Amino acid sequence: MPIHLLWGDDEAARNRAVEALISKRTDPAWQSINLSRLDGNDSAQAAQALSEARTPPFGGGDRVVVLQRSPFCNQCPAELAEQLEAALELIPDSCHLVLVSASKPDARLRTTKALQKLVKAGGAFERSFQLPAVWDGAGQVDLMARTAREMGLVLEPAAAEALAEAIGSDSARLASELEKLSLYVGATSGGSSGTSQPITAAAVQALIGSQATTSLQVGDALLAGRPAEAIALVDALLLANEPGLRIVAALTSQIRGWLWVSLLDQQGEQDVAVIAKAAGIGNPKRIYVMRKQIRGRQPSRFLALLGQLLTVEAALKRGTAAGDAFRDGFLLAG
């Protein structure tokens, strides 16, 4: 398949897939000639990718042309679209054009339709790399297990759950932690590096169990009226190098969802699909969980929490130390 369409917000997994393709298809001795890495933000480089993909490889192995931030399936200029359509049938089987994008392909574009037609005909390959939502526990466990398989590691189900609790949807950190866990279980079992010994929940607890903190837990503590606990959880996140503004963004999304559910419940809306759409929640089943979380609480409570987060965000953007910003916002605001 000479065209590979890779998209999704899991950048770490996308990059692993790209490197695996390069390793499989190119000859290391000829990579300097047969491997190109280009940036689709530059229209000249996007056009260059199409040109290079039509050039047969030299020496051994195949040619691989990687176009990061590909524009062809998202806001593609008409001139580039024409060049892509003209190039599709001219790419040799020994060349691989890898189109990489964080965004889902826009199905309305003619370039996307042309690529999708090739996918159906077997002339192109499409793969998505979507991170599970921060509240999607099952999706996070599946991410742990899938990444371990891709790395050739054996991850016990209980270990996958423990790992998901520890790092959530942080795919970049996941690969690093799995490598360390692989070495750890090899050492403790008397094996060597690269051992096929299964990674256990005990191993996860021993290495990273103490880091099992997520922004969702902070939100739960705030909802329960335990600001001191919320501050302690935030301190743990900051210690793990989580950016303060990212914590604020996650909490704002969580609390805004609670507010929408609360308001629509008060209006008597029962259709979870309608509530999920209004709240911007992809999985309507999540509404049942959120209703249990906020039972007995008024919308004014969520508005007050959003006000506290606004205070924290303003302090962070003024240059206040993250720990102080959250401490003052959670304890003094509202």
SS (H, E, C) 77-139: CHHHHHHHHHHHHHCCCCEEEEEEECCCCCCCCHHHHHHHHHHHHCCEEEEECCCCCCCCHHH
Indicate whether 202 and 230 sit together in one domain: no
The owner of tokens 């866990």 is 181
Q: What is the mean pLDDT of residues 274-301?
A: 80
* DSSP for residue 17: H
Domain of 68, in residue numbers: 3-128
Q: What is the mean pLDDT of residues 91-97?
A: 94
Indicate whether 84 and 115 sit together in one domain: yes
Q: Where are the alpha helices (DSSP H) in the chain?
A: 11-25, 31-34, 43-53, 78-87, 110-121, 137-150, 157-167, 171-188, 201-208, 215-223, 227-239, 244-266, 272-279, 286-294, 299-317, 322-332
Does 188 score more than 70 pLDDT? no
Indicate whether 206 and 225 sit together in one domain: no
Indicate whether 46 and 158 sit together in one domain: no
Q: What is the mean pLDDT of residues 317-326?
A: 93
DSSP string, 290-325: HHHHHTT--HHHHHHHHHHHHHHHHHHHTT--HHHH
Does 57 score more than 50 pLDDT? yes
The pLDDT tens digits for 212-233 are 456 778 888 998 889 999 999 9
The pLDDT tens digits for 131-178 are 887 667 788 889 999 999 988 899 999 899 888 877 777 788 888 889
At residue 37, the pLDDT reads: 96
At 307, list the tokens. Answer: 């006000």
For residue 126, name the pLDDT band (cuts at 50, 70, 90): very high
Q: What is the mean pLDDT of residues 74-81?
A: 89
At residue 275, the pLDDT reads: 80
Does 318 score more than 90 pLDDT? yes
- For residues 143 and 137, give the distance between their C-alpha atoms in angstroms, rounded to a whole number: 10
Indicate whether 12 and 121 sit together in one domain: yes
The pLDDT tens digits for 10-55 are 888 999 999 999 999 999 999 999 999 999 999 999 999 999 999 9
* Range from 29-33, 103-107, 237-241 carrying the lowest mean pLDDT: 237-241
For residue 141, which of 175, 174, 164, 165 has the smallest C-alpha distance? Answer: 164
At residue 193, the pLDDT reads: 47
Q: Which of 128, 158, 193 is the last residue of a domain?
A: 128
Indicate whether 94 and 195 sit together in one domain: no
CB 329 within 8 A of CB 308: yes
Q: Which of 181, 211, 241 is the last residue of a domain?
A: 211
For residue 76, which of 119, 47, 56, 37 has the smallest C-alpha distance? Answer: 47
Does 211 score more than 60 pLDDT? no
At 241, list the tokens. Answer: 């190098």
At residue 1, the pLDDT reads: 59
Indicate whether 123 and 164 sit together in one domain: no
- For residues 241 and 269, give the distance between their C-alpha atoms in angstroms, rounded to a whole number: 41
Indicate whether 159 and 235 sit together in one domain: no
What's the whole-model pTM score? 0.63
Q: What is the mean pLDDT of residues 304-327?
A: 93
Q: Count of CB atoms within 10 A of residue 278's CB?
A: 14
At residue 334, the pLDDT reads: 46
Instruction: Kindly list the strands in the beta sheet with 35-39, ordered across the sheet, starting from the edge strand earlier in the chain.
Output: 35-39, 63-68, 95-101, 3-7, 124-128
Indicate whether 231 and 207 sit together in one domain: no
CB 236 within 8 A of CB 251: no
- Count the domains in the chain: 3
Does 333 score more than 60 pLDDT? no
Indicate whether 200 and 219 sit together in one domain: no
Does 274 score more than 80 pLDDT? yes
Q: Count of CB atoms within 10 A of residue 107's CB?
A: 9
Indicate whether 8 and 88 sit together in one domain: yes
At residue 282, the pLDDT reads: 64
Q: Which of 211, 246, 264 is the last residue of a domain?
A: 211
Indicate whether 271 and 206 sit together in one domain: no
Average pLDDT, whole number, for the chain?
Answer: 87
Supply the CATH number for residue 169's domain.
1.10.8
